[in-house]
Structure 1
Amino acid sequence: MKILVIGAHGRVGQRIVNQLNDKGDNVLAGLRDEAQFSTFNGEHITPILLDIQQTTVAALSAQMAGVDAVVFSAGAGGGGYDRTMLIDLDGAVKAMQATEQAGIKRFVMVSAMGTSSRATWADAIRPYYAAKFYADHWLIHDTALDYTILRPSTLSDDSGTGKITINASDKLDNGAKTVSRDDVAAVAVAVLHDDQTVKQTISFTGGKTAIQSAIDAAAK
């Protein structure tokens, strides 16, 4: 499979790219600065220049030629609320539009737990949750993409365990509060290779169930 990862230099994005490479998938690593190209050296990884804030839908669609699936893992990363809206929301929508223009169906969105309900949004980062809410809404209701939306809980840099817990309530106060970025990437890789997750929104946190088993149960 040939997969474009948008936001490949992010802490989750890097892990997704490297794990896909390890599985033998061909990966286009979308990076906003050529100085980041040296981040990757896997034999199946091709870095490409892709600034989701500055690119156009047409230009992005052209870069997707030959791609089988797109992963959106880009984010402003605390770079201010203006950039949050331009990357986490408008950048995500541009990616969806470009994916459809390129004739690609499969799209995986890395979102955030608690996005579905305004009542659960933390006041300190409400604009971030608003961006995620409307990006997810657009993906579900305004595209014909074969999407999977991933909503992990608070992220950590702990080593991955290969295990998660599905949180069907999509609330941060239900169960463990964190999940490792390694495991978030592993979930993204797993759903890309699993058609039963199409049109699914999967909220999860760190847990005790093997990732594939948890995904299988969530998709039933």
Structure 2
Amino acid sequence: MKILVIGASGRVGKILTKKLLEKNHEVIGTTRQNESLFGNYNYTQISLDLLGEIEDMQEKIPNDIDAIYFVSGSRAKNLLALDLHGAIKTMKIAENKNIKQYIMLSSVFSLETHKWKDEGFDELKDYYIAKHYADEWLVRNTHLNYTILQPSALKETEGTGKIEVNIKHPGENAIEDVATTLLEVLNNKATFKKVISMHSGTTPIKKAIDTLGH
């Protein structure tokens, strides 16, 4: 498959891109860096300004993309302009180009606002508002085969390859496990039109994702 990874140089994006290349996918990464992130013949890189005009962005994205991953983040610097408006522009482009799957990396309970009063959410409220409306736009205002993955807190720990999905309470996730889960949902019809919350657990990732189709 030919895949666009928006945010390929980020904590999740870099690991995800590496895993996609290992599966022999053709990957186009976006990053603000000038140097190529990967010396792989299946990897190319474009500079995509998420703060720019949608017409300019659309011109840079090839027409034969099969799937888009949105794993970019502003780190709280441009929440509305990037995490919200920038994301929605890429959704519109995906529809314009008839892209088969749009995979959004979000955050746990972004669409369940009644849970934001729990401990730990208040300090990230602006971030959650941006993610909430980006996710809601994807669900309510597009016809894309979307998959929204909502991990709990990301940790720089070794992956276990085991998670739980559709969780009731937040937890933690190894970044590698999040990247592996993003890989697992690719072209998986069981995850189309699904919002998937997750944290570390005891179920192998493939098995956890396969249960979504039942």
For residue 213 of structure 1, the aligned residue among 204, 207, 213 is: 207
Give the letter for the 1:111 counterpart.
S
Q: Secondary structure at the match of 2:36?
A: helix
Asked if structure 1 preserves the Cα contact closer than 8 Å seen for 2:91 and 2:142, the reply is yes
Distance 2:150 2:187 in 1: 18
- RMSD of the TM alignment (CA)? 1.3
TM-superposed deviation, 1:157 = 1.1
1:59 deviation in Å? 2.4
Aligned length: 209
Query: 1:123, 1:132 → 2: CA distance?
Result: 14
Match of 2:161 in 1: 162
CA shift at 1:162, angstroms? 1.2
Contact 2:150 / 2:196 at 8 angstroms: preserved in 1? yes
| Separation in structure 1 between the aligned mates of residue 126 and residue 32 of structure 2, nearest angstrom | 23
The answer for the alignment partner of 1:9 in structure 2 is 9
Unpaired runs of 5+ in structure 1?
Answer: none
Q: Distance in 1 between matches of 2:161 and 2:73?
A: 24
Distance change in 2, residues 1:38/1:105 (3 Å): closer
1:39 aligns to what? 37
- Which amino acid letter does the alignment assign opposite residue 14 of structure 1? K
TM-score by length of 1: 0.90
Q: What residue is the counterpart of 1:23 in the other structure?
A: 23
* TM-score, scaled to structure 2: 0.93
Match of 2:183 in 1: 189
Say which SS state the counterpart of residue 213 (structure 1) adopts.
helix
Q: Is it true that 1:101 corresponds to 2:96 in the alignment? A: yes
SS in 1 for 2:51: coil
Provide the secondary structure at the position in 2 that maps to 1:137: helix
Distance 1:180 1:219 in 2: 24
For the residues of structure 2 that align with 1:133 and 1:25, how far apart are their CA atoms? Answer: 30
CA distance in 2, matches of 1:23, 1:132: 29
